[in-house]
Chain A
């Protein structure tokens, strides 16, 4: 039985990590074509991301868009999540549900919706379009994480602070903020990572003017392979691991993933 269990675990791990392993190996190739097992060893395809203007510009625009849309999403989510938690306002709850909806729909639908919106008001291909679109699409993430953070604030602490004479602002700053902030950060980080990796919404909002990395990779795929894509895959996976590692360190990953009440 133990044998069966371990065999399954090993096969599963190989299945999950194997493809990533092959891509990592390919990214260290020293030749221009893809080969596995790799021929030679070099970091040139990693250097290429930073040396080649095309790839580097795409990396910078992707990072900018991801950071800006994640901040915007947190800013939109904060008052809504706070109002739901503080007063249970029915209007705030309705806003909350509406804010979660775009994330559940197939992304191509939201992409098309944004394309229609921006083209009908004559805002074509501006970088702000994709920032807003990503913020709306990923709004569900900060909404959910911030709510989880606020729910973990012990109401007894609030009462204690008020009894001791703290006014609303002081309570918010000294009690609520320190407990909820790591969860808001988690919401920011989730948005950042998913925006960085998002393709179709970026394509339909700014595809013809700004080449984000996923768009550039897809365009490159049509003209054949280049090991730069493999090195970007490894780089992105590393960014993802670091970001989620930070979330795990500074807030409660199990709680965010719904493992505890």
Chain B
């Protein structure tokens, strides 16, 4: 009887197992296989073992791209957490209704396509319909100018993309935080700012660390913003992967770059979790 029962439990899992197996495990293995595939003269490739794609990555051009991507995303992760943390802290203290309305808006903005965010910031940074016009209108600058493409534009738009994520990542920890700690500090005469820096931030240290890693990986995956708001020298690994796969039809090299991206994000996650998790 109990054997029958557990068998029927497994049977209900068969369709889901097939889907996850065929459409996640297999494609994932295919990427790894394609990254060492052999290119054939007709521009296609056949599965085999060839490390030339990784050798091609080991040139300064691509290594520099990888380092640039990592550095820029680390910077974006820090800025967006700095912006989002105080707001999230205040958000948890709002009235229930206000809180829900804010959360709905933040979720709505977070889900907005990266294409649309890139477009919005392209408009904001344009000469004719953006911040430049507002500054010209108010007389702060004499003549409006285009602020994109530039590294600053890419960073600004990616921070804007990351802030809603940062809020939602910090939100659980900050809402569950033990409020009596703050009251105790206040009773003992610590100022509001002092409490914030000496109690609120240290107590939420692990949430800050894990959120920073998540945002790092998230922005590393951005594809459209660097293309629309940056010059080719601001392209990240993700953009290069897309470029190789779609426009150069070089699937093995795209796969090799994807493996590098996977290793890069994986090792950063592991390193930060190891050192940030201590204490």
Contacts and interface: CB of A to CB of B under 8 A. Distances in A.
Given A19-B160, A233-B119, A198 B31 contact: no
Interface string A195-206: 011111001100
Interface string B93-106: 00000011001111
Interface string A209-248: 0000110011001000100011011001100110011001
A15 B86 CA distance: 14
Contacts of A107: 221, 223
For chain B, the bracket of interface size reads 35 or more
A9 B87 contact: yes
Interface in A1-46: 1, 5, 8-9, 12, 15-17, 19-20, 22-23, 26, 33-37
Contact of A36 (B114, B133, B164, B258): B133
A111 to B, nearest CB: 8
A98 interface: yes
Contacts of B23: 114, 117, 132-133, 136
Contact of A248 (B100, B109, B246): B100
A114 B27 contact: yes
Interface in B100-144: 100, 103-109, 111-116, 118-124, 126, 128-130, 133-134, 137
Given A91-B10, A200-B223, A102 B24 contact: yes
Contacts of B12: 79, 82-83
Given A105-B262, A106-B217, A259-B171, A225 B113 contact: no
Nearest to B254: A112
9 contacts: A36-B134, A106-B265, A114-B23, A116-B30, A119-B251, A133-B23, A225-B123, A230-B123, A244-B103
B108 A240 contact: yes
Contacts of B133: 36-37
Interface stretch (B59-67, B197-205, B237-245, B270-278): B237-245
A181 interface: no
Contact of A221 (B13, B99, B115, B137): B115
A257 interface: yes
A197 B245 CA distance: 21
B111 A197 contact: yes
B130 A36 contact: yes
A240 B16 contact: no
Interface in A124-179: 132-133, 135-136, 139
A190 to B, nearest CB: 8
Interface of B: 6, 9-10, 12-13, 15-17, 19-20, 23-28, 30-31, 34, 83, 86-87, 90, 92, 99-100, 103-109, 111-116, 118-124, 126, 128-130, 133-134, 137, 160, 163-164, 168, 171-172, 175-176, 192-193, 217, 220-221, 223-224, 228, 238, 241-242, 245-246, 251, 254-255, 258, 261-262, 265
Q: Is the interface of B mostly helix, strand, loop or mixed?
A: helix
Given A19-B124, A98-B20, A106 B220 contact: yes
Contacts of A105: 262
For chain A, the bracket of interface size reads 35 or more
Contacts of A135: 19
Given A82-B12, A116-B34, A259-B92, 20 more contacts: A76-B20, A79-B15, A79-B16, A87-B6, A89-B10, A91-B13, A95-B17, A99-B24, A101-B24, A107-B221, A112-B31, A115-B245, A132-B19, A132-B23, A198-B113, A204-B246, A217-B116, A237-B108, A248-B104, A257-B168
A82 B118 CA distance: 39
Interface of A: 1, 5, 8-9, 12, 15-17, 19-20, 22-23, 26, 33-37, 75-77, 79-80, 82-83, 86-87, 89, 91-92, 95, 98-99, 101-102, 104-117, 119-120, 132-133, 135-136, 139, 193-194, 196-200, 203-204, 207, 213-214, 217-218, 221, 225, 229-230, 232-233, 236-237, 240-241, 244-245, 248, 253-254, 257-261
Contacts of B83: 12, 15
Contacts of B119: 23, 217, 221, 229-230, 233
B15 A76 contact: yes
